[in-house]
Amino acid sequence: MKIAFKNFFNRGIGYLPYLLFFCFIYQVDIFQEMVLVNGVLQIFLFLVVACIPAYFTKKMSFVDIAWPWGLVLIGILVLFLGEGYRPRIYMVAGMYLFSGLRMGIGALILFSKGHLKSELSRYNYQRRRWDKAGYKNLNLSLQYEIMIQCFANITFLAIPAILMSTNSTNSISTLEYIGAGLWATWFVLEHISDLQKQQFLKKAFLEKKKKQVCNVGFWKYTRHPNYFSEWMVWNAMIIASISSFISLYSEDQQLVWIIIGVGLFYISYIMYTTLVYYTGALPSEYYTLQKRPNYKAYQEQTNMFFPGPQKSNKKDI
């Protein structure tokens, strides 16, 4: 009973930052409609696409469909509910729509090919974490983890969209141009990274060379150029929304403004920890080491996340 209470408390604490942040952003009058509508629709989307399938199949992989389509949903809401400067609305809506569609369509393709019939390796790794932490109820663990990603879409990850779509300043700032330019750059680099790996694996398959390690193109400089690029995509969106955040300042709501600012930059931390530790680099490498004998040498030569020149006889940083 004591252990069950401890587990319940720990997981409740995990939801707390999202719930508190939701309460703060909802206090801003011009945010309320977007925040509420996005919250309701995200919960509906995740329930239908991820929670219910996970309950019946005992697989968490369906969240890989729900999360990117949740970004698409944010982009659509910006177009319909945004009351700010229209060019700015189109800018931020495009960021969310293209990011979500790229991953969302890819997830549907994987689903159609049967890749979600078995649990993805990163979510098998999560089960190891649950066992180590003493979480024995599989159904509860699946729903908890899925809803964490849902709450991220409702709160922190929606902030750039909410800020920029409600900014009525009739001009695009330099920071917004810089942010949009960086977003486009890293969006393209992420897509190229994925294509490079697909081409490498296809070539290895045709040449009947099994268990090869992809170390071509951007993969020579970081073991996860796609994850690093995804992180930079979000950093670019933060940069693009700084001007809108500054324009939001009000002496009457200084605390709310500060909390929103902290939340805006917290996005970078959330995405970094997710892409490196939670469902990204660390889980994927755990299983890759077991499948590919040469991966250990690749680890020693190539940085895990941040790009850099290849090393020799040194461990990854």
pLDDT digits (tens, 9 = 90+) for 224-257: 999 999 999 999 999 999 999 999 998 788 999 9
Residue 316 lies in a domain: no
9 in a structural domain:
yes
**Is 279 domain-assigned?**
yes
The residue-averaged pLDDT of 267-275 equals: 97
Which pLDDT score, from 0 to 100, does residue 6 have? 64
Closest CA to 250 of 29, 32, 86, 88: 29
What pLDDT shows up at residue 11?
81
State the average pLDDT for the chain.
93
Question: Which whole-number Å values give the CA distances from 16 to 9, 86, 137, 140, 151, in the listed order?
Answer: 11, 34, 21, 17, 10
CA distances from 268 to 41, 97, 107, 313 (A): 24, 19, 23, 32
List, for residues 258-268, the tens digit of each pLDDT value: 999 999 999 99
pTM: 0.94
Structure-model confidence comparison of residues 16 and 4, the more confident one: 16
Tokens of 101: 């569609």
| Res. 172: pLDDT tops 60 | yes
State how many domains the chain has: 1
- The answer, yes or no, to whether residue 315 has pLDDT greater than 50, is no
Q: Is residue 312 part of a domain?
A: no
> Mean pLDDT across the stretch 263-292?
94
In a domain, 310, yes or no: no
The tokens describing 273, both together, are 């920890």
- Report d(CA 313, CA 293) in Å as an integer: 17
pLDDT band at 316 (very low <50, low <70, confident <90, very high): very low
Residue 307 maps to a domain? no
Tokens of 115: 């890749």
Residues 181-200 pLDDT 10s = 999 999 999 999 999 999 99
What is the C-alpha separation between 175 and 65, in angstroms, rounded?
32
Give me 16's structure tokens: 């707390």
Indicate whether 106 belongs to any domain: yes
Asked whether residue 311 is assigned to any structural domain, the reply reads no
Q: Which domain holds residue 154?
A: 2-301
Question: How does pLDDT run across 28-78, given as a tens digit for each residue?
Answer: 999 999 999 999 999 999 999 999 999 999 999 999 999 999 999 999 999
pLDDT at 12: 80
114 compared with 168, residue with greater pLDDT: 168
Upper half-sphere CA count for residue 22 (Cβ side, 13 Å):
18
Q: Determine whether 204 is exposed, middle or buried from the number of CB atoms within 10 Å of its CB (0-12, 13-18, 19+).
A: middle
Taking the mean position of all CA atoms in its chain, how far away is CA 29?
A: 27
